[in-house]
Structure 1
């Protein structure tokens, strides 16, 4: 299996397991979290689509290192999994370690 695909899947699973088994911030049941992810993915589609378009790519991927599935337009599907893992991990860390409410 291609390296980028494997690492993306590991990242997704690791973040979800970390949230559900240890951090337990409750973000997966939060409408604010899912709205945040919708906004992130909306902008990711526009920016990533422009960067990876096959007609004039700015960022190119080694074909043997990802699944080859591109959706929508020419975006490697792994980019969405990577984005999910990165943003979710950051939000979990912010809630768990960085964000302290005024008392």
Structure 2
């Protein structure tokens, strides 16, 4: 009877050890799976962020190019208007400057 009890306890202990080993192996497998999935998710998020940043950069570059073009056109128009004003009023400006110089 004592031998049967010892054998039963030994068998229980062996099965308990096997269960613990299996649980530990399963825990390691789950941890590895979790790490792999987390890495995949991280890579996907980083890729999406990179794509989004590139799209935003393109949009900003296009907007900057439009603004530069608009400013350039406006500057040309302003310069043309100043040139036209000068051509139209050149003699008037010369007379005014001359009058100021001689004090008349």
Query: Which TM-score bucket, shorter chain as reference?
Result: under 0.3
When the two structures are superposed, what TM-score results if normalisation uses the length of structure 1?
Answer: 0.27
Specify the structure having the higher radius of gyration (Cα).
2
Which is richer in helix?
2
Q: Which of the pair has the greater relative contact order for Cα pairs under 8 Å at 6+ separation? A: 1
